[in-house]
A = this chain, B = another copy of it.
Amino acid sequence: MGRAPSIEDEALLKQLTEVFRRSGYEGASLTALSSASGLHRASLYHRFPNGKPAMAAAVMASVEQIFSDILDPLMSEDDPSTAVAEMARRVGAFYDDGRLACVLDTMTLRGAPDDIRARATHLATTWLTAMAEIARRAGASEEDAARRARTALVLIEGSLVVARVLDDPAEFRLALAELPQTLIGGPGNAG
């Protein structure tokens, strides 16, 4: 067995993810990724022999894993309202209360590899499906449930942009607080 890594895979991915989220794919330089992780550039290449595209792919895979946890309450929790509230809590933690951008936003600008953009599209679809399902379970029609899910995603992504631009997390917090209402509340739904 070789020498133990100075930073475990999970912690490493977390640091790399943060850089990609803050700077976007092209803005995430090897220098930035290196200093964030504490590993020299050559060490990053040892972990990711295919370089920056591989790092970005690993980040996307990591985020997919994190989202499977974020969305888990929507499947496992019986009460839809409780389920959405718990999902909102986990979303808030992942976005560090609005201080971190979404990979769906920063990894889909021109310059990002096609496979990364495709993964972002897939992640968005997964998220939308899970949110639509909980709305459906709370009594919404299929059409209304799909609409509510899209609105929820728009509010989360938009509030993250606004929070960044205004340097104020208030809008993001509000979007999360209203998520149960957005997905399962109001007219036409039992929630």
Interface residues of chain A, those whose CB is within 8 Å of chain B, are 22-27, 101-102, 104-106, 108-111, 120-121, 124-125, 150, 153-159, 161-162, 164-167, 171, 175
* Complex partner residue of A109 from B22, B154, B156, CB under 8 angstroms: B22
- A20 and B150 alpha carbons, distance in the complex (Å): 27
Which residues of chain B have C-beta atoms less than 8 A from A154's C-beta? Answer: 154-155, 158-159, 161-162, 171, 175
For the complex formed, measure the closest distance between the CB of A6 and the CB atoms of chain B, giving whole angstroms. 25
User: A124 CA to B164 CA in the complex, in Å?
Assistant: 11
A24-B26, A153-B162, A158-B158 known, 10 other contacts, Cβ within 8 Å? A22-B110, A23-B111, A24-B109, A27-B27, A102-B161, A106-B109, A150-B162, A154-B175, A155-B155, A158-B159
B109 touches A23 (CB 8 A): yes
Instruction: Check B24 against A161 for contact (C-beta < 8 Å).
Output: no
CA distance A47 to B165 in the complex (A): 29
Query: Given known contacts A23-B110, A27-B110, A106-B109, is B162 in contact with A157 (CB within 8 Å)?
Result: yes
Q: Which residues of B contact A164 (CB under 8 A)?
A: 108
- Is the CB–CB distance between B167 and A157 below 8 Å? no
Q: Are A121 and B166 in contact (CB under 8 A)?
A: yes
Complex CA–CA separation, A34 to B154 (angstroms): 34
Question: Max chain B CB contacts within 10 Å: which of A23, A102, A105, A121?
Answer: A105
